């Protein structure tokens, strides 16, 4: 009798396992939508055009959603809390010009790198005193909260003696204070800083990137099936030439390889 009860229990558990172990891909396809967390204030990667999010990352997100056969929903999220929101299942993945770091990899998994970047210094166009990182000694530097720009600035502060680091919720706020003279420089990702300087003549970028960084798409640790699929889609985008098409659309040239 006991054996029969044990067999029945095992049989019941085997039947119910699929109900509790559906993979991320299955859940997304069943819902019919890919939810993407992004800090939509980081042109040209993600920013608002009217009431619509646009940018390089947004186009990549659309391609991934199309490849999965689902709709795309962008959920605007502060970068400082975006990893916590992913882990809390507020969305499925993060596509937000996020640099792959060992510290972040402790909490989340990353796709293959899809963009090469680095930190660069932006200053006011009429400033002739700052020509490299060492000239930030005694200066006030603006950064975005929770970014690798903030990490780089803190390292420079210890190394060369930056007077003060001011952290902002979004990078446009930091650039605005730079234009107004409230900070002396902004440390931020090169493509975003160059894009901002191109559209704001009071700002210029100096030197070359002083860090090497690579962006990845972030997924929860347990969503390995989704990670594998995203990597396959990224490979296909590059193989088909679609990645180059999107890159040229937003940066005016093809990526250096």
pLDDT at 2: 47
Contact 189, 152 (CB under 8 A): no
Measured between alpha carbons, how far is 242 from 246 in angstroms, rounded to an integer? 6
Measured between alpha carbons, how far is 35 from 22 in angstroms, rounded to an integer? 17
State the distance between the two ends of the chain, measured CA to CA, in whole angstroms: 69
Say whether 119 sits in a helix, a strand or coil: strand
Closest CA to 184 of 160, 198, 164, 208: 164
pLDDT at 12: 52
The contacts of residue 196 (CB under 8 Å, 6+ apart) are: 43, 122, 171, 172, 175, 203
Sequence length of the chain is: 257
This prediction's pTM: 0.84
Measured between alpha carbons, how far is 251 from 194 in angstroms, rounded to an integer? 10
pLDDT at 126: 97
Q: Read off the pLDDT of residues 201-216 as tens digits, 9 standing for 90 and up.
A: 999 999 889 999 999 9
> How much is the CA Rg of the chain, to the nearest whole Å?
22
pLDDT at 16: 46
Which domains are seen in the chain, by residue range?
22-116+214-251 (3.40.190.10), 119-211 (3.40.190.10)
Run of H or E residues at 236: helix 224-240
Measured between alpha carbons, how far is 104 from 248 in angstroms, rounded to an integer? 29
Q: Is the dihedral of CA 209, 213, 216, 219 positive or negative?
A: negative
Query: How confident is the prediction for the chain on average, in pLDDT?
Result: 92
Closest CA to 153 of 124, 174, 126: 174
Span 94-118, mean pLDDT?
97
Q: Read off the pLDDT of residues 150-178 as tens digits, 9 standing for 90 and up.
A: 999 999 999 999 999 999 999 999 999 99
């Amino acid at each position: 009798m006991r054996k029969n009860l044990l067999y029945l229990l095992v049989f019941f558990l085997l039947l119910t396992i699929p109900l509790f172990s559906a993979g991320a891909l299955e859940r997304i396809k069943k819902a019919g939508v890919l939810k993407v967390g992004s800090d939509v204030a980081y042109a040209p990667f993600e920013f608002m055009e009217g009431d619509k999010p646009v940018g390089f990352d947004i186009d990549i997100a659309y391609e991934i959603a199309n490849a999965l056969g689902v709709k795309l929903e962008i959920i605007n999220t502060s970068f400082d809390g975006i990893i916590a929101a992913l882990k809390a299942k507020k969305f499925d993945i993060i596509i937000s010009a996020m640099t792959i770091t060992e510290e972040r990899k402790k909490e989340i998994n990353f796709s293959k790198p899809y963009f090469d970047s680095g930190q660069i210094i932006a200053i006011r166009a009429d400033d002739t005193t700052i020509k490299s990182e060492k000239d930030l000694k005694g200066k006030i530097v603006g950064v975005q909260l929770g970014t690798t720009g903030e990490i780089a600035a803190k390292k420079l502060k210890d190394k060369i003696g930056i007077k003060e680091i001011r952290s902002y919720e979004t990078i446009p706020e930091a650039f605005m204070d730079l234009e107004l003279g409230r900070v002396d420089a902004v440390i931020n990702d090169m493509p975003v800083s160059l894009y901002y300087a191109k559209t704001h003549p009071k700002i210029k970028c100096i030197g070359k990137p002083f860090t090497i960084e690579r962006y990845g798409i972030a997924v929860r640790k347990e969503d390995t099936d989704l990670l594998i699929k995203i990597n396959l889609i990224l490979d296909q985008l590059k193989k088909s030439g679609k990645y180059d098409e999107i890159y040229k659309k937003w940066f005016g040239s093809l990526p250096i390889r």
